Structure 1
Amino acid sequence: MGEPAGNDAPANVQAGNGWSAVIEDMEATAAEYRERGWTTLELHPGDSVLVDSDRRTGLDVVLPGPEFEELESLVEDRQFRDVEVFRAEGDELVYVLVVELAPESETAVFVPAYYDPSQSAEAIELIRETGAVRLFCRRLNDDTVQFVHDDPTPFLPRSVD
């Protein structure tokens, strides 16, 4: 999986040991939100990459069909205005847990992701220059739900080699 065929698509990476920690954090954080009465959706991407292509620039995650349909249903009638981002670096990867928040309806969508910053230097630089990051949650057929954030800092590594 990964970005559809094209010379500008980064190679797929395999998540290291940090991935299970991200999933555990997602489950624990989602449970805390549910205890406070929020509706939650935990997503489980099959692939994740920081991409810079003619078609999209940002964090791109591929979701299973049923999860994508749930996400699509949630975003139809809710305003996701806030975000929490938890970032960790290890195994030569950047791991993020993005929590998209719709406070008025008390709804939270949890999007775990990872990417290899050594393969994403151009995308990182472009995101820093534009001052915004896009999160693309999509199916293999390219149906997409997009979230845009004006502060890319929490999504990016502290430094790029």
Structure 2
Amino acid sequence: MSENPAGDVPENVQAADGWNAVIDDMAATADAYRDRGWTTLELHPGDSVLVDSEFRTGLDVVLPGPEYEKLEAITEDDDTAFTDVDVFTAEDGGMFYLLVVEKDPDTETAVFVPAYYDPGGSQPKLDSITEAGELRLFCRRLNNDYVEFVHEDVAPFLPDGLLDA
């Protein structure tokens, strides 16, 4: 491979830096929730992608087995209902990064889901999501079992100005 005469950081390194920043932000935000007495679960997806198929339309993150099992246990608890969400976003190097915090204020439980996608290469999928009027967040394991969070307000999950276009 030839040297980069411009001295720019390669795109894959920029993406890694952006992802590491999201993971660091997740850890700090989860610490703040724990300091206030909340139960937290921090997820570490191995992949994140927008999907638009006959099976799923939305944002799909693939989780390691043990994290998926913890998420499944929390969401199957009859006392827990995730009725609130915070979405923190950043754009860097053409990538759109998200930290989704699924919250149950009654039980003070929060699930932290970091994700990312390339809005430039995802326009048809983003169009499907906006036309549907909801964003479905699929947290799944490799065998395709999944926990789903449905959000009727898609705006927080999209780059600024996308809905205005």
Contact 1:51–1:120 (CA<8 Å) still a contact in 2? no
Root-mean-square deviation over aligned CA pairs:
1.6
Aligned length: 149
2:40 is matched with: 40
1:60 is matched with: 60
Identical amino acids, percent of aligned pairs: 64
Q: Mark the structure with the bigger radius of gyration.
A: 2
Structure 2 CA distance, aligned partners of 1:120 and 1:43?
24
TM-score for both structures, normalised by structure 1: 0.88
Alignment of 1:82-93 (within 5 A): 82-93=84-95
2:111 is matched with: 109
Structure 2 CA distance, aligned partners of 1:38 and 1:120?
35
Alignment of 1:10-159 (within 5 A): 15-77=15-77, 78-159=80-161
SS of match in other structure, 2:59: strand
Contact 1:51–1:59 (CA<8 Å) still a contact in 2? yes
SS of match in other structure, 1:30: helix
SS of match in other structure, 1:88: strand
Mean alpha-carbon deviation: is it higher for 117-126 or for 83-92? 117-126
Structure 2 CA distance, aligned partners of 1:50 and 1:29?
24
Deviant stretches of 4+, over 6 Å: none
Question: How far does residue 83 in structure 1 lie from its aligned partner after superposition?
Answer: 0.2
Q: What 5-or-longer segments of structure 2 have no aligned partner?
A: 1-11
SS of match in other structure, 1:105: coil
Tell me the amino acid that sits aligned with residue 42 of structure 2: E
Question: How far does residue 127 in structure 1 lie from its aligned partner after superposition?
Answer: 1.3
SS of match in other structure, 2:106: helix
Superposed CA deviations along residues 63-108 of structure 1, whole A, max 9, x for unmatched, are 0000000000000111000000001111111000000001111000
TM-score for both structures, normalised by structure 2: 0.86
Contact 1:16–1:91 (CA<8 Å) still a contact in 2? no
Question: How far does residue 159 in structure 1 lie from its aligned partner after superposition?
Answer: 4.1
Structure 1 CA distance, aligned partners of 2:127 and 2:160?
12
Q: What 5-or-longer segments of structure 1 have no aligned partner?
A: 1-13
